Amino acid sequence: MIEIEQVSFAYPNGVEALKNVSLTINDGEFTAVMGQNGAGKTTLVKHLNGLLKPTKGIIRVDGVETTKTSVAALARKVGFVFQNPDHQLFSETVEEEISFALKNFGFTEDAIEKRITWALNLLGLTQYRKTSPFMLSGGERKRVALASVLAWDPEILILDEPTIGQDYQQKEKLRQFIVQMQTQRKTIVIVTHDVEFVAECNPRVVLMKDGRVVADGEGRAILTNPEALAQSSIVLPQIAQVFSQLSPLGLPKDVIDTYEAKELLLKTWRRLK
């Protein structure tokens, strides 16, 4: 469980990035943190693995205050994938990048080999095993950074803008992996502007603006609420936009899932024939 109690944070230049934020994220919960640039999203999640310490308030991860433990100790439990992979990658090959944390955490050579192979296959990186990460495209480097964290199987996974630079196929693989992680009771927190990806996943959604939480709830309810989204400069998902215009036909407005949308449209078409 992650407990955030009345947390405020100011950078050395005086900018107050978080203002009295309180949230509880339960074990196994999938949460998307959304909002415009400067809303405090990344600042908030950097507190969850101790990269930043609150100016005021308390953050606990599984009952341990982040100010009373090291980043290294938290890293074994909390995996963090940065928005910019170049802030995370440093090894000469993709294989070495993925193995680095595994070696530091004391995995056996056999386990390291298995985890590397698993992560490469999962993210479609097998052909780049011996390649320098810095020779890859931005999207591929993003997947290498993700693979290097997923390999050690953290209990909590934080993804900062994970869909940037990824095509639809890779986004779908990421979505399927998140579903798999949920079945294993992993806790997942993503920071994203990708409202369509969030709509497909339908997690809990936390909207932020100016360092504060302005809305928090089930994804379907938040992502079909134009007023709530407008506060954080987020647009309605495309499906929600369509169904908001179809309500005169008796269709619900709170639709964000493509499969549900298909069934509702087919049923309405048959009724109107």
Q: Mind listing the pLDDT tens digit of every residue in the chain (273 residues)?
A: 999 999 999 999 989 999 999 999 999 999 999 999 889 999 999 999 999 999 999 999 999 999 999 888 898 899 999 988 888 888 899 999 999 989 988 999 999 999 999 999 988 899 999 999 999 988 889 889 999 998 988 999 999 999 887 888 888 888 888 888 888 899 999 999 899 999 999 999 999 999 999 999 999 999 999 999 998 999 999 999 999 888 888 889 899 988 888 888 888 888 877
What pLDDT, on a 0 to 100 scale, did the predictor assign at position 116?
Answer: 95
- Asked whether 34 and 207 are in contact (CB, 8 A), the reply is yes
Q: Which of 264, 260, 259, 224 is nearest to 240 (CA)?
A: 224
What pLDDT, on a 0 to 100 scale, did the predictor assign at position 257?
Answer: 87
What pLDDT, on a 0 to 100 scale, did the predictor assign at position 19?
Answer: 97
141: alpha, beta or left? (left if phi > 0; alpha if psi -120 to 50) = alpha
**Rounded Cα–Cα distance for residues 53 and 17 (Å):** 12
Task: Look up tokens 């290498």; give the residue.
Answer: 144
What pLDDT, on a 0 to 100 scale, did the predictor assign at position 10?
Answer: 96
Residues 6 or more apart in contact with residue 216 via CB below 8 angstroms? 23, 204, 205, 206, 207, 222
What pLDDT, on a 0 to 100 scale, did the predictor assign at position 172?
Answer: 87
Q: How many CB atoms lie within 10 A of CB 64?
A: 13
**Rounded Cα–Cα distance for residues 94 and 239 (Å):** 38
What pLDDT, on a 0 to 100 scale, did the predictor assign at position 71?
Answer: 87
pTM of this structure: 0.90
* Angle, in degrees to the nearest 10, between helices 138-150 and 168-183: 10
What pLDDT, on a 0 to 100 scale, did the predictor assign at position 188?
Answer: 96
What pLDDT, on a 0 to 100 scale, did the predictor assign at position 41?
Answer: 95
The amino acid occupying position 154 is P
What pLDDT, on a 0 to 100 scale, did the predictor assign at position 84?
Answer: 86
- Asked whether 96 and 148 are in contact (CB, 8 A), the reply is no
What pLDDT, on a 0 to 100 scale, did the predictor assign at position 249?
Answer: 81
- DSSP-assigned states of every residue in 53-88: --SEEEEEETTEEGGGS-HHHHHTTEEEE-SSGGGT
What pLDDT, on a 0 to 100 scale, did the predictor assign at position 210?
Answer: 95
Q: How many CB atoms lie within 10 A of CB 138?
A: 12
Name all domains of the chain by residue range, CATH numbers in brackets: 1-77+154-235 (3.40.50.300), 89-152 (no CATH), 237-273 (no CATH)
What pLDDT, on a 0 to 100 scale, did the predictor assign at position 33?
Answer: 97
* Angle, in degrees to the nearest 10, between helices 138-150 and 109-122: 140
What pLDDT, on a 0 to 100 scale, did the predictor assign at position 21?
Answer: 97
Q: How many CB atoms lie within 10 A of CB 222?
A: 23
Continuous H helices in 41-191: 41-46, 71-75, 94-104, 109-122, 138-150, 168-183
